[in-house]
């Protein structure tokens, strides 16, 4: 009985995971619709994002509870039926009655039947992955605790007094410890009941008093807002919903707005926002960063350029195209949540699975019907088909990669033992074309998904199916943006920057001959003294305006940001965004 209860628990986990896919999607759409008019109200968006991830957790727990009760009741009914006399059970071999109804209801019934069969494997998969992630999270917490005690030392009394004065001004009740650490490379805050602010060893002496003050004020803002405790709660939920990309978007919004809120608090207490922006830029462009999820650091890693522009008083323009998608999808998911059934009849049985076996030697009048086969053939390279005609072994071998890519020529070689290459006729089932002869062919595909390659033998006016194989179809992987095709984010000299012609998209470790085109990007130049300037660049080359901005970078250095790089690769129907670059301009000595 204990084993049955545990099995029911695992099945309930599986149901909760599947239902959370559309539940979190609905919550995300509602969140985006509510925050549409609130783009500059960081605290309001921060609270709404926290409420959204909390609602996701509450809804998932409610779903798990409801499913566990339903499955427990179902198990009791099955146990009761097994105790009845044989005469009262269903006649073997007679399928359950099929009720007719609307198409939507039939679709829901199909999905529920599928869940009944696969909920246990899904529950086990979630439990195993979540357990490993929890172990990883606990390991990170243990390492964060060690940072408080190992390799630390007390800074000068002046810095400790400065920390105490600002804590008193911000009305922080906890006793705060300010320490220097040899194990970190940027300021960070750890702990909730007894918070500790850590600065890299030697940084307090290297920075100016004004720079120390703004960084210290940022860390104290995290303590005043109880961000460390909220971050622990957030990390726990991220571990539970690790599989959902929209939950990660909500969580990223929480972290982004959290940094904005702390920046706003710093700006309310400082008279030099450009000094604060320059200090954060120097930290961001450091080559080494401490990757500690449990820490609250000054730089943050999300939307850094936009954050710097906000501090400098520049509001970046936002596109409204994604908001129209929210408006269109929100009614659909609201309707989905209204008619999705909470339970299914315990005695309902899943439909039978039909398996069709192709007989060797049979002429295929409609080759496209092979796409309906219920048993896919596992792929091995080269492929030895299990459906080949007697006495022949068929080999289907892609020559470069085990995947077909959109927009490039995918070479393919086919052969069959004892059969001349001229008698083999390969065919492509799916979206695309197949050309070539005598065993060497080229496959061109047009949309992601799967295609099937069938091999026929033409002999005596008849066609015999020798074998077939299924292949995945993918688009070309994202290229890496590089300055002049050489440099990623790093520290460079102004002269090196002026020698570069622009930004190039590099396809690294890609075996096919393909080139991705840079469509445009946002360029921000931040001199060491003065206001930052942002321009939108079309194409990959630097325009004359960009060269002028580079010329004004003085001997004290500065920074250059290249954000939202848009590219178009062969086979792409629309552009894709592949990230950005950040360069610190080394001062001239």
Residue 553: count other Cβ atoms within 10 Å of its Cβ. Answer: 22
The CATH fold of domain 377-474: Immunoglobulin-like (2.60.40)
Q: Which residues contact 304 (CB under 8 A, 6 or more apart)?
A: 280, 284, 561, 582
Q: Is the pLDDT of residue 322 over 90?
A: no
Inter-helix orientation angle 209-224/157-169, to 10°: 50
Q: Is the pLDDT of residue 191 over 60?
A: yes
Q: Given its phi and psi angles, is residue 375 left (phi above 0), alpha (psi -120 to 50 degrees) or beta? A: beta
| Distance from C-alpha of 469 to C-alpha of 454, rounded to nearest angstrom | 7
For residue 80, the model assigns a pLDDT of 52
- Pick the residue with more confidence: 113 or 435? 435
pLDDT band at 383 (very low <50, low <70, confident <90, very high): very low
Q: Per the confidence metrics, is the pTM higher than 0.95?
A: no
Reported as a single tens digit per residue, the pLDDT across 85-97 is 443 333 444 444 4
For residue 141, the model assigns a pLDDT of 84
| Distance from C-alpha of 75 to C-alpha of 54, rounded to nearest angstrom | 32
For residue 107, the model assigns a pLDDT of 57
User: Which helix (H) or strand (E) covers residue 504, if one does?
Assistant: strand 503-506
Q: Which residues contact 84 (CB under 8 A, 6 or more apart)?
A: none
Reported as a single tens digit per residue, the pLDDT across 253-303 is 999 888 888 888 888 887 777 777 777 777 766 544 445 555 555 555 555
Percent of the chain residues past pLDDT 90, beyond the cut: 25
- Pick the residue with more confidence: 306 or 203? 203
Q: Is the pLDDT of residue 61 over 90?
A: yes
| Distance from C-alpha of 387 to C-alpha of 373, rounded to nearest angstrom | 12
| Distance from C-alpha of 32 to C-alpha of 49, rounded to nearest angstrom | 9
Residue 217: count other Cβ atoms within 10 Å of its Cβ. Answer: 23
For residue 350, the model assigns a pLDDT of 34
pLDDT band at 570 (very low <50, low <70, confident <90, very high): very high
* Residue 53 near residue 254 (C-beta atoms within 8 A): yes
3-state SS, one letter per residue, for 63-93 = HHHHHHHHHHHHHHHHHHHHCCCHHHCCCCC
- Pick the residue with more confidence: 533 or 294? 533
**Candidate from 119-128, 353-362, 374-383, 483-492 with smallest mean pLDDT:** 353-362
| Distance from C-alpha of 190 to C-alpha of 192, rounded to nearest angstrom | 7
* Residue 166 near residue 147 (C-beta atoms within 8 A): no
3-state secondary structure of 397: strand
Residues 363, 365, 436, CA angle at the centre, nearest 5°? 80
Q: Is the pLDDT of residue 484 over 80?
A: yes
Each domain of the chain, given as residue ranges in start order, spans: 13-62+101-340, 377-474, 480-585
* Residue 279 near residue 215 (C-beta atoms within 8 A): yes
3-state secondary structure of 43: helix
| Distance from C-alpha of 32 to C-alpha of 351, rounded to nearest angstrom | 40
Average pLDDT over residues 339-347: 40
Reported as a single tens digit per residue, the pLDDT across 395-448 is 888 888 788 999 999 999 988 878 888 889 999 999 899 999 888 999 999 999
| Distance from C-alpha of 415 to C-alpha of 438, rounded to nearest angstrom | 9
Reported as a single tens digit per residue, the pLDDT across 126-173 is 889 989 999 988 888 888 888 888 888 888 888 888 888 888 888 888
**Candidate from 7-16, 120-129, 275-284, 385-394 with smallest mean pLDDT:** 385-394
pLDDT band at 356 (very low <50, low <70, confident <90, very high): very low
For residue 211, the model assigns a pLDDT of 84
pLDDT band at 2 (very low <50, low <70, confident <90, very high): low
For residue 299, the model assigns a pLDDT of 55
């Amino acid at each position: 009985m204990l084993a049955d209860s545990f099995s029911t628990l695992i099945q309930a986990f599986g149901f909760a995971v599947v239902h959370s896919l559309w539940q979190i999607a609905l919550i995300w759409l509602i969140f985006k619709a509510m925050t549409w008019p609130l783009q500059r109200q960081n605290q309001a968006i921060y609270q709404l994002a926290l409420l959204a991830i909390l609602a996701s957790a509450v809804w998932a727990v409610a779903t798990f509870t409801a499913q566990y009760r339903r499955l427990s009741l179902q198990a009791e009914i099955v146990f009761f039926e097994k105790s009845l006399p044989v005469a009262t059970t269903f006649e073997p071999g007679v399928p359950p009655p099929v009720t007719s109804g609307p198409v939507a209801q039939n679709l829901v019934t199909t999905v529920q039947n599928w869940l009944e069969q696969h909920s246990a494997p899904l529950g086990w998969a979630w439990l195993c992955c979540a357990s490993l992630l929890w172990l990883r999270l606990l390991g990170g917490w243990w390492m964060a605790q060690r940072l408080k005690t190992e390799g630390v030392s007390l800074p000068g009394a002046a810095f400790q007094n400065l920390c105490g004065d600002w804590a008193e001004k911000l009305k922080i009740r906890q006793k705060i410890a300010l320490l220097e650490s040899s194990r970190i490379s940027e300021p960070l805050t750890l702990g909730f009941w007894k918070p500790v602010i850590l600065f890299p060893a030697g940084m307090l002496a290297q920075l100016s008093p004004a720079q120390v003050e703004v960084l210290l004020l940022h860390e104290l803002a995290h303590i005043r807002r109880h961000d460390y405790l909220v971050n622990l709660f957030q990390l726990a939920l991220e571990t539970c919903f690790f599989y959902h990309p929209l939950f990660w978007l909500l969580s990223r919004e929480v972290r982004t707005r959290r940094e904005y809120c702390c920046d706003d608090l710093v700006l309310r207490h400082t008279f030099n926002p450009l000094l604060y922006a320059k200090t954060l830029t120097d930290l961001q462009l450091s080559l080494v960063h401490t990757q500690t999820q449990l820490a609250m650091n000054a730089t943050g890693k999300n939307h850094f350029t936009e954050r710097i522009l906000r501090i400098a008083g520049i509001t970046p323009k936002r596109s409204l195209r994604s908001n129209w998608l929210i408006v269109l999808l929100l009614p659909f998911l609201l309707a989905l949540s209204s008619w999705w059934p909470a339970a299914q009849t315990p005695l309902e049985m899943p439909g039978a699975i039909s398996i069709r076996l192709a007989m060797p030697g049979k002429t295929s009048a409609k080759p496209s019907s092979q796409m309906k086969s219920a048993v896919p053939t596992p792929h091995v390279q080269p492929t030895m088909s299990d459906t080949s005609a007697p006495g022949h072994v068929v080999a289907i071998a892609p020559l470069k990669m085990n995947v077909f890519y959109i927009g490039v020529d995918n070479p393919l070689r086919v052969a069959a033992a004892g059969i001349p290459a001229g008698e083999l006729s390969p065919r492509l089932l799916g979206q695309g074309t197949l050309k070539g002869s005598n065993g060497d062919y080229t496959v061109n595909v047009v949309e992601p998904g799967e295609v099937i390659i069938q091999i026929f033998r033409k002999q005596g006016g008849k066609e015999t199916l020798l074998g077939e194989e299924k292949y995945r179809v993918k688009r070309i992987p994202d290229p890496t943006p590089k300055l002049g095709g050489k440099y990623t984010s790093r520290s460079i000299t102004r002269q090196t920057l002026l020698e570069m012609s622009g930004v190039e998209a590099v396809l690294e470790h890609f075996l096919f001959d393909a080139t991705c085109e840079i469509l445009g990007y946002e360029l921000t130049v931040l001199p060491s003294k003065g206001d930052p300037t942002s321009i939108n660049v079309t194409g990959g080359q630097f325009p004359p305006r960009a060269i002028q901005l580079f010329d004004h970078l003085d001997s004290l250095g500065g920074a250059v940001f290249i954000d939202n790089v848009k590219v178009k690769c062969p086979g792409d129907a629309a552009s894709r965004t592949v990230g950005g670059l950040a360069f610190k301009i080394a001062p001239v000595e």
